[in-house]
Chains A and B, each alone.
Chain A
Amino acid sequence: MLIATIAVIIALAIFIIGTGYLVALYNRIVRRENEIDNAYGSIEANLKKRHDLIPNLISSVKQYMDYESDTLQQIVELRNMARSDDLSTKKQEEIESQMTQALDKLMVQVEDYPDLKASENFIQLQQSLNEVEEQLSASRRFFNSAVKQFNDSIETFPGNVIAALFDFSSREMFNAEVHEHKTPDVGSLLDN
């Protein structure tokens, strides 16, 4: 009788500790999933900031450059496409990557327009754009870090058991290159 009681107590203790551990693990996975959403929200906020800057940038640039230039047209088109609601994440990623390249190209073209380079309004816009680009890069890095932690937690034991039970699945990281190295260098403009 005593042995049976001890066995029941031990079994109960194991059950309570085990359940507690699994609940804690589940909560940790949920927190990590929420962090991914939080990071994604931060990317979207920075993309919106970038989209909001583009009309001002275009209006500032077109006073000096030919508005019909391919680059300006491409930036405007990409911005309009990026603002559509029914875009998949992958498509959005592609559009934003193309926009980054188009903006870089624009900054190279600006080098041929000394008046534009010296324009106070343009310099401020470019500084804001640099800032947004780096914040975007930071939020993508945060997103990738959150995805890595989440994937690690659901792909290793016993997280994979919880993941199977509650239907958690691996997330994809952003493949877009870290933009920081390609940040348009306004330093050369300021040196003038």
Chain B
Amino acid sequence: MDEFKQFYREELQENVKKLRKDNPNIFTRLEIKDFLKIDLSTLIIAAIFFMIFGIPILGVLWISKGSFPFFWTIIGVLTSHIVSRGILQNNFQEKAQFKTAFKQQIMGSIIRFLGNQFSYNPTEGLAKEKLNDSFILPRKAKGVKSEDYVSGTVGDTDISFCEIIASASMVEERKVYQISNEQKGFQKMSRSMLAKMRHEISEFYRGIYFVADFHKSFQANVLIRPTEFTWNDHHNEETAEPYKVNKRLDDSFEQVHLEDPVLESTYNFYSTDQQEARYILSTTMMERIKQFSNRTNKKLFFCFKNSSMHLTIPYKKDLFDPDILSESLRQEPDLSNILNNEEIFTYFQDINFLLGIVEDFNLNTRIWSKT
């Protein structure tokens, strides 16, 4: 950490300063709702104008005669709408540019500080097919937004990780509600309602997808899923339903019962080969999973496939995105008190934690045939 603080003083702080100076307006918090308020206010004023001046004669006649109140009210509303949209659009673009600059200048520097063996691509990520083929999540993703791909080696172990946001069509979810509601005697959903929902997409998982080369060779597929998982655990969506954790498993998977009762109560284990599952999940590996799970206090999903370990850790926040409201970005960096910029250190700590997974699972121990 001391080394990183020194790096921050010598290099990163200048980047933060420059980023802040280059984007003075970025910290003005403008949201769509602000502009909706402007639109709404203008409409109310227009309505009042129209009621005062427009009621006696039909609006059509007023327009045709070029009458002042109605015509100029319409023009005013439209202008106000266009201007507010323009400001909003500009603000969005500025934010997007700031985000890109932040990732390149700050996150890129942090990754470089961690070692030349790491590469970082803010726009690269995990393909939807790869996520679905891993069976790591109990729901099939209809859409995957993935970015911030980091790859490299920690000791002898190749690793990579990126952010993922997995989403699914609401239809499947709503059908479940529909059936349960029908059972409770509620009215059946109309076709038009279902057709509308077909286009609705809901985010059901957000987190980090981590892949590491496993230290043993194996052919089987092994899945570890929490016995219970509700997106509510990590996301404030009141409507979130608990996952059915044994979903999306074909007949080749069998449940594996391991010797550790604590782990068995927290996770379900599935594998295409009972013996290889135990070869991968040795007693020390089980202990490491338990410790890591306790330390993170998160419900993790694992997949062991093609001699690699895949792991997803749910996160509410974006680990690589700038927090516009962050004090360290808004204020002039304070050289005398470096801890004022602890948000920047959080980015470093989060990435360091991910790289530490290799040690946490002892993946650098290469005492087996696989080198």
Contacts and interface: CB of A to CB of B under 8 A. Distances in A.
Interface of A: 35, 39, 42, 124, 126-128, 130-131, 134-135, 137-139, 141-142, 145-146, 149, 178, 180-181, 183, 185-187, 190
Given A141-B259, A149-B257, A134 B366 contact: no
Contacts of A138: 275-279, 282
Contacts of A145: 257-259, 274
Interface string B247-291: 000000000011100000000000000111111001110000000
Interface SS of chain B: loop
B279 A135 contact: yes
A146 B274 CA distance: 10
Contacts, number: 56
Nearest to B217: A131
B257 A135 contact: no
Interface residues of B, number: 18
A130 B367 contact: yes
Contacts of A186: 367
B362 to A, nearest CB: 10
List 5 A-B pairs, minimum CB-CB distance, nearest first. Answer: A138-B278, A138-B279, A186-B367, A131-B368, A141-B278
B276 A134 contact: no
Given A138-B275, A146-B274, 16 more contacts: A35-B274, A42-B275, A124-B369, A126-B367, A127-B368, A127-B369, A128-B369, A135-B275, A137-B278, A137-B282, A141-B259, A142-B275, A186-B367, A187-B365, A187-B366, A190-B367
Contacts of B284: 180-181
A39 to B, nearest CB: 7
Given A39-B274, A42-B275, A139-B275, A127 B282 contact: no
A180 B283 contact: yes
Nearest to B281: A138
Contacts of A187: 365-367
Nearest to B284: A180
Given A131-B216, A138-B278, A145-B257, A190 B283 contact: no
A131 B284 CA distance: 15
A83 to B, nearest CB: 22
